[in-house]
Amino acid sequence: MSQDVSEITSYFPESFNIAGYINKSETLQNLLHLNVNLSKIEKRPHIVHKILKLDFEKDIKNQILFLKDYVGIENIGNYITKNPLILCESLEDLQVRINYLRSKKFKSQDILHIIQKNPFWLMFSTIRIDRRLGYFQQKFNLCGDEVRLLATKQPKIITYKLHYINTNTFVLTEEMGFKANEVKQLILHKPNIWLTSQKSLLERFNYLHNIIKVPHLTILHYPNVLLCRNFRVKQRHLFLKSLGRAQYDCNKENYIPIKALVEDTDLEFCKTYAKCNVDDFNIFLKTL
């Protein structure tokens, strides 16, 4: 029988080595066998403290068997590494939260996707999740199918801090000038925009819209440009400009689609759009 470590975990220093507890804890040994990265968890002593107080057979085993059906045994270690506190949730609560999604007409494969892509989803009570789904439905004027689409497409956005959601919504409408129906289109097509920092969004939009003069409609049709780092867009735009090919208006000759600035490898970019050898592009980059 493993030694009871509950009494020796009443205090943790700010930094400690979890290896010293493994031989004394059946729970840690079993988590290690499941490929849980204990070195990452030990950086959060308060979480280790909670886990060490759990009995594997009584408190954890059934939760792991439950999660296995949703994330797969091969992914369970990574899942717990990202959110070890899931082990502290009761099996009853976990089942209730799954049942809630079913009651809201989420398909089985969508529920699997949500749980796999957002390890923190099951930490939210049904009341909190219901409020979050209601928030997005009202904020962006979504119908039921659209709410389910958003939650499935990017599950992390539903549990993301609402402060950041509100901030980026304000940025898109008030500072970038997108209309409400356009913002709705953006969140359904590219919800990751709301997971991007306000500063990065503004920098990218400013360069695209105010420097390159890309209109709102073009960005709306290809919102991936707001998810690409500015330096990549700048490099390719300036190179095309040096060649006299920086023409992004589809109504004019020699049209270059805006996706050329963010997609494909440099080799493919040069071959398809710049119409030159990639060596020429690399030489140009050294002049920047």
Q: What is the per-residue DSSP string for 183-231?
A: HHHHHHH-GGGGGS-HHHHHHHHIIIIIIS---HHHHHH-GGGGGS-HH
Tokens of 256: 């270059």
Cβ pair 86, 67 in contact under 8 A: yes
Tokens of 11: 């205090």
Cβ pair 232, 261 in contact under 8 A: yes
pTM of the model: 0.87
Q: Going residue by residue through the chain, which has 288 residues, state the pLDDT in tens, using 9 for 90 and above.
A: 444 444 444 444 444 577 777 888 888 999 999 999 999 998 888 888 898 888 999 999 999 999 999 999 999 999 999 999 999 999 999 999 999 999 999 999 999 999 999 999 999 999 999 999 999 999 999 999 999 999 999 999 999 999 999 999 999 999 999 999 999 999 999 999 999 999 999 999 999 999 999 999 999 999 999 999 999 999 999 999 999 999 999 889 999 999 999 999 999 999 999 999 999 999 999 998
- Listed by start position, the domains of the chain span 1-88, 97-159, 160-227, 229-288
* Cβ-proximal residues to 283 (8 Å cutoff; 6+ apart), any chain: none
